[in-house]
Amino acid sequence: MTKESALSGFNRMRSKLSFGRMVEMAAKMGMENPLFRCHERAAKGTTVIDGKEYINFSTYDYLDINTHPEITRAVTEAATLYGTSAGASRLVGGERPPHRKLEKDIADFYGVEDCIAFVSGHATNVSTLGFMFGHRDGIFHDGLAHNSLLQGARLSGATRISYEHNDCDALEALLAEKRAGFRHAIIVTEGLFSMDGNVPDLPRLIELKKKYDCLLLVDEAHSLGVLGATGHGAREYFGIDPKDVDMWMSTLSKTLCGCGGFIAGSRDLIEFLKYGSSGFVFSVGMPPVIAAACDKALEILLREPERVRKLQDISQYFLHYAKDKGLDTGASQGYAVIPVIIGNSWVTGFLSQLLFKRGIYVMPISFPAVKEGAARLRFFISAAHTEDMVRKTLDAVVEEIPNAQAIVDKYQSEHTDVLNI
């Protein structure tokens, strides 16, 4: 028997994700691949692809700060002084003043003692959970927690326990049953859920973490700059003591217009991570120019809270207009992330394509990113969007849903051997 070649082994591995089947089926049905389109300028409320302008609902620039001239100046000055690379891990030669200033300003923003900035947002969660917990510990995470949180939990070797999304009663039942069996335990949630656009019951989670002697991590990737009257996130939204959350995590790639992530919390926690977390210790430091950009974006957020109000107003307008049109927005509470749930993955894909032809750029989200039968268009709302953009977009969605459905129905009727499309 001949030994399996490396290539055939890779092809078998690749089939686990069914990329080939999905791409082949979509092409047969006439669906263009919506992924990796090249944007030819900063993607804000509008974007340009192949020379054409589109209304854009696939940007994390929630507060319309990206390309702000003050950020451009800060980046230019930092690049002139420090170059574009930290040059090494921050422990051994990559530390620069912009890193320290950014971390101090974030800690002050959250009202906690210290902060650590990682070069990657995804790696922030992976490295933190992977380093801090082990096989004798338990990680209780929301059923819709982000992939980075799940990967960090897997890396740790701790027992992973998923509770029903946003169901604190279900979480308490699990804690009552299982918490005593672990050395350490942590509850993990998001400040604003990235697929559904809803907010957890953070006061209840704090109550449970105290009652059952757990740590609490809140991933604020989508809630920083979005929730609260001045954009201070979930702690301002609920009016809680920031020290009641052990780890405030967020990315730097959304409201703060850069790249990377951070953990903010107690001084002892941050020192522990700085000397031990693999994603920090063994990674090159964040480019100083990125740290400077994020810090300037934070300054603008603090100085111009009207951007937060504008985002919240247009998000609520979108949510209510969509509901008035009879569209299913799921559990979204109208804060920057609003899905329009279609159900069938193929219909959702064709709907995105039809909207693209009408000058509207919004991405389809389907299984395995969401549950089978819960495919949706995911709209990221920005302070750059206008009511006219919202009306034009949602009117087009309503008009094109039956057209997308008709494409799928026609293909299915002509190909009766093809199931589950």
Q: Which two tokens stand for residue 127?
A: 């490295």
Choosing from 141, 146, 222, 385, the catalytic residue is 222
For residues 359 and 93, what is the distance between their CA atoms, to the nearest angstrom?
48
Cα angle, residue 147 at apex, residues 85 and 162 outer, rounded to 5°: 145
Residue 140 burial (CB count, 10 A): 28
52 is catalytic: no
State yes or no: is 254 an active-site residue: yes
Which of 156, 194, 277, 345 does the annotation list as catalytic?
A: 194
Residue of 141, 254, 296, 385 marked catalytic: 254
222 is catalytic: yes
Q: Which residues are catalytic?
A: 194, 222, 254
